[in-house]
Structure 1
Amino acid sequence: MDAFYASVEQRDDPRLQGRPVAVGGSGNRGVVASASYEARRYGVRSAMPSLTAQRMCPDLIFVKSRFDVYREVSGQIRDIFHRFTDLVEPLSLDEAYLDVTDNKIDMPSATIIAEKIRSLILEETALTASAGVSFNKFLAKIASDINKPNGIKVITPGEALPFLEKLPIGKFHGIGKVTARKMNDMSIFTGADLKKWTEIDLVRRFGKVGRHYFRIVRADDYREVNPNRIRKSIGAERTYKEDLTEITAMKEKLTYLAGVVHAYMAKADNYGRTVTIKIKSSDFKIITRSRSFQQEVRQLDDLVQITHDLLENNQEEIDRVRLLGVSISNLMREHDGLGIQLEFDF
């Protein structure tokens, strides 16, 4: 879906149409959950602190999230998907993989199916969607972002390798900004540059994920579309150019990371009960500390406070910090469809 939450708000409130809109809180601890394309022109992006977004776009309009509405619309969209195939793997409320190799309308063209789905979504929800069509997940995911908003991109088997060779390394799905910078330092700027490296050398530089990089640049991705996919955790971490030495500075960084994680949870509508912080010191010693709760942690303020408490309770172990991370596990979607664990009172 195109800027899903923001597009729903613009659809439901005509006064917001054509204006820069951000879904999320506007306070000091607010985080952008979704930004309209009018706001994105100013550099506003999801998971960005609201204060930063406001500075980048002074006319930005903040709208409180309505996840009940987003879930309802998401259900409508998934119903459309299932008219064509039962092999639907949702990634979040607004995104999914579909395997249409064998489909319910006996249509041999995945491109035509994608266009039919996009047309039905527009007709039934008044929202636009973009599609990527290809022969594996990796290429379909990349293709889906190319002609946004309201577009479609097809990558055929014959086009795949030339396409990947020309693709900037930062556009590869799964290669983030930090890894892209590291690759740039290795003179890897495009897929063609990445392809020059052997699998052994990539593993030496990047560990196990180096095998993944070796395969994807060759369009090798044999993952199946899994309609029963369960996510185990949601997290974010950052490495800092200069070591953090003050608890106050560490708390500020944790507040930001908690906001990123909360935005991910909200987008996926998947909250968890176990909060973990990760601390890596300047000598590369790693400390992880967790706290579990009976109910899911749903409020951002609660998540921030928990991370701060975990930090404060372990101050004696912390000196100079080069990396901080926040993650949440024991997600509620892990328990969907599972039996109830009974407890015996001993």
Structure 2
Amino acid sequence: MEAGPDKEYSRKIIHIDMDAFFASVEQRDNPELRGKPVAVGGGSERGVVAAASYEARRYGVRSAMSSRIAKRKCPHLIFVKHRFEVYKYVSGQIREIFAEYTPLIEPLSLDEAYLDVTENLKGMRSATHIAQEIKYKIKKATSLTASAGVSYNKFLAKLASDHRKPDGLFVVKPGEGEAFVANLPVEQFHGIGRVTAERMHQLGIRTGLDLRAQTEDFLRKHFGKAGGHYYKISRGQDDRPVEPDRVRKSVGSENTFERDLETLAEMQLGLAPLIDDVWKWCERTRIFGRTVTVKIKLNDFQNLTRSRSSLLPIKDYAFIEQMAYDLLEENFPTPRPVRLLGVSISNLEDTQPYEGKQLTLNF
């Protein structure tokens, strides 16, 4: 059963997305980089761009692009080494500003989050005014700009924050969602990636209006369970709540090597710091997992993965280390040389005692 109009429009959701966050922090802290095309990460022939400034994006440079392609698109691109501790600190500053308005904060990454401000700590009636205040406070505290989307559900708020970037604020009011998505290309819909968009194009679906013209049965036939989701978002519908206590499902670390690895000894040496990274996170957070996974990417970009699980959370470094090395050896000899290794732990459990608190808001 679909929600009625009153229920559907009862929420006030804000999506905040920092503008070119990593690159903007680097330009803020180094005046010589301002106004220039900057890529965070990469640099080496085998590297990958973690983030790109807007100046670099004008040349087609994007995150997750190989350094080689990025340099080809923008020959005068400036690569800078990432500083994740700085980005985490700034993200913490931004999170403190969010918390002034609502406890219902769902972080998606260091640089973006959903906020449910339907009932908020300042008693403000206008979500748009809250978004304006948050943007102002972020700029004042960090000297960085953020874009905000305001709407009655998460899907529309996310689309809205992308609509006027950078430093934008866009509002999709109750009743406007269906019209707002009608003319948007499907590849702009959050949750529809490049491959899915190409499949939709082959079916003659290029815009939100084209998507809305399809029956739910047709979409489920071609896209499985996701078809039901596509049916709803083509109508601007999304009933997902903001989830402030979203549990992290896994933690991992991986590395692309400067040269391909061929021997088991080289791979073990490459795996060691990745195991250390994951273990340090587990120790620091006191969150441990039951499943260890080793990822191996060959130089033809084929991925091999192996996992092994324990009945109880693994709280012994030596145990995790041995499991990871055993999983690596099970894949050796590899069909081709290895360009990337990764280690992750999933099925996480928080081992710290937790005292739940319920917040009551009276207006």
Q: TM-score range by the shorter chain?
A: 0.7 to 0.9
The question of 1:120 aligning with 2:141 is answered no
- Looking at structure 1, the residues matched to 90 and 333 of structure 2 have their Cα atoms a distance apart, in angstroms, of 42
Q: 1:143 aligns with which of 150, 155, 160?
A: 160
Summarize the alignment of residues 1-346 of structure 1 with structure 2, pairs less than 5 Å apart.
1-233=18-250, 274-277=292-295, 288-290=305-307, 312-313=332-333, 315=335, 329-330=344-345, 334-335=348-349, 338=352
- Looking at structure 1, the residues matched to 88 and 304 of structure 2 have their Cα atoms a distance apart, in angstroms, of 37
Residues 22 and 311 (structure 1), Cα distance of their counterparts in 2 relative to 1, 3 Å cut? farther
What letter matches 1:91 in structure 2?
L
What letter matches 2:345 in structure 1?
N
What letter matches 1:9 in structure 2?
E
- Looking at structure 2, the residues matched to 115 and 224 of structure 1 have their Cα atoms a distance apart, in angstroms, of 22
- Structure 1 residue 28: Cα displacement: 2.4
TM-score normalized with structure 1 length: 0.74
Q: Which residue in the other structure is 2:8 paired with?
A: none
- Structure 1 residue 229: Cα displacement: 0.8
What letter matches 1:14 in structure 2?
P
Residues 51 and 76 (structure 1), Cα distance of their counterparts in 2 relative to 1, 3 Å cut? same
- Structure 1 residue 326: Cα displacement: 9.3
- Looking at structure 1, the residues matched to 346 and 157 of structure 2 have their Cα atoms a distance apart, in angstroms, of 27
Q: Which residue in the other structure is 1:254 paired with?
A: none
- Looking at structure 1, the residues matched to 84 and 352 of structure 2 have their Cα atoms a distance apart, in angstroms, of 24
* RMSD of aligned residue pairs (Cα, Å): 3.5
What letter matches 1:203 in structure 2?
R
SS in 2 for 1:182: helix
- Structure 1 residue 291: Cα displacement: 6.6
Stretches of structure 2 lacking an aligned partner (at least 5 in a row):
1-17, 253-259, 261-273, 298-302, 318-323, 354-363
- Structure 1 residue 290: Cα displacement: 3.1
Q: Is the 8 A contact 2:306 2:327 kept in 1?
A: no
Residues 308 and 190 (structure 1), Cα distance of their counterparts in 2 relative to 1, 3 Å cut? farther
What letter matches 1:48 in structure 2?
M
Deviations 1:59-91 (A, max 9, x none): 111111111111110000000000011111111
Which has the greater radius of gyration?
Answer: 2
Residues 307 and 189 (structure 1), Cα distance of their counterparts in 2 relative to 1, 3 Å cut? farther
- Looking at structure 1, the residues matched to 78 and 65 of structure 2 have their Cα atoms a distance apart, in angstroms, of 15
- Paired positions, count: 288
Residues 18 and 287 (structure 1), Cα distance of their counterparts in 2 relative to 1, 3 Å cut? closer
